[in-house]
């Protein structure tokens, strides 16, 4: 089995990008060229891991995220192309319950991408609502690795109990788990501080991927209780959380000013300093350039401790993913 680095997943000090819900919020076809520019900028700056999912862009935009990512990959001609690593997550749809359904799903993803998937991940566990379904899906993930259709397999939203069970199941087949993806940020420390997933991943040789490292934008400093908020459910969530995170935002801002960095860069760098691979989303060249500014430097021990305390003392935390298992 190739190592994480041999899969072209960046080592610590490098960044990664997520191509998921962020890519499709407010998406229209006129954005294609802008998104290609984002992709080009990322790869040319050694940001070479792109994470998506086969459920991103369903309905009218069926498979759009993978289709776009495949196109951007084909049309990129600059340096670093050989290091591009594409990861996708296969959804545990209720009509998927056999091992063959997962193999078929991954082949469909590969067809949309125009190339084999490097890292295939179970998008979520069904243990919280349909535990009987998960066995076949996990068998299918193992089949993909054994058949050489992917270079590595990973999981998403798994807690320590389920992770140990799946790791044992895979180990019996000689299938290593490369990554575990969880919601992790200064506003969502639960997977690491309470579930102790980082410790377990280190023990098992699994790399922890931090999705939503900017907490849907709450950690960027862009939003305030008085200012305009996103529409819909996201705006309602922000109204509930923002009043209880003022001290955390103030701490991030103070560190950012002392470092001559932005709040987003501090929040992303904190995730890197915690030994995770953060995958922030970017829809514009400006956002991508700002996120790239989180690389190439590190917060010191005192700054990390200050941010840790502010995160622990925040009155409100980010809502956990309903699929996150124990």
Helix intervals (H) in the chain? 21-24, 32-44, 64-75, 99-113, 131-146, 160-171, 190-193, 197-204, 232-241, 246-259, 263-273, 285-292, 301-313
Match 């990664």 to its residue by tokens.
16
- Distance from the Cα of residue 111 to its chain's centroid: 22
Residue 145 among the catalytic residues: no
Task: Please choose, from the candidates 146, 147, 155, 149, the residue with its C-alpha nearest in 3D space to the C-alpha of residue 178.
Answer: 155
List 27, 56, 76, 158, catalytic entry: 56
Q: How is residue 131 written in tokens?
A: 């535990």
Q: Would you say 127 and 135 are in contact if contact means Cβ atoms under 8 Å apart? A: no
DSSP H or E segment with residue 179: strand 177-183
Active-site positions read: 56
């Amino acid at each position: 089995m190739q190592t994480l680095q041999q899969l072209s997943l960046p080592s610590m000090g490098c960044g990664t990008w997520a191509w998921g819900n962020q890519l499709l919020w407010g998406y229209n076809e006129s954005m294609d060229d802008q998104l290609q520019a984002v992709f080009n900028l990322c790869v040319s700056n050694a940001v070479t891991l792109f994470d998506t999912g086969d459920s991103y862009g369903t309905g009218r935009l069926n498979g759009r995220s993978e289709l776009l990512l495949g196109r951007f990959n084909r049309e990129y001609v600059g340096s670093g192309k050989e290091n591009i690593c594409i990861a996708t997550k296969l959804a545990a749809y209720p009509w998927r319950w056999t091992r063959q359904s997962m193999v078929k799903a991954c082949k469909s993803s590969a067809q949309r991408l125009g190339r084999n998937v490097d890292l295939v991940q179970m998008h979520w566990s069904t243990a919280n609502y349909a535990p009987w379904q998960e066995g076949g899906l996990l068998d299918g993930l193992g089949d993909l690795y054994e058949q050489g259709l992917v270079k590595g397999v990973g999981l998403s939203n798994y807690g320590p109990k389920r992770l140990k069970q799946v790791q044992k199941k895979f180990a019996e087949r000689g299938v290593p788990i490369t990554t575990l993806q969880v919601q992790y940020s200064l506003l969502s420390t639960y997977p690491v501080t309470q579930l102790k997933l980082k410790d377990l991943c280190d023990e098992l040789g699994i790399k922890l991927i931090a999705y939503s490292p900017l907490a849907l934008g709450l950690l960027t400093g862009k939003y305030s209780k008085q200012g305009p908020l996103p529409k819909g459910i996201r705006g309602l969530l922000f109204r509930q959380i923002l009043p209880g995170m003022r001290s955390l935002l103030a701490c991030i801002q103070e560190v950012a000013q002392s470092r001559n960095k932005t709040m987003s860069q501090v929040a992303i760098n904190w995730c890197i300093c915690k030994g995770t691979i953060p995958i922030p989303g970017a829809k514009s060249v400006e956002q991508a350039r700002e996120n790239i500014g989180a690389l190439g430097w590190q917060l010191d021990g005192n700054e990390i401790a200050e941010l840790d305390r502010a995160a622990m003392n925040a009155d409100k935390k980010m809502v956990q993913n309903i699929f996150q298992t124990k």
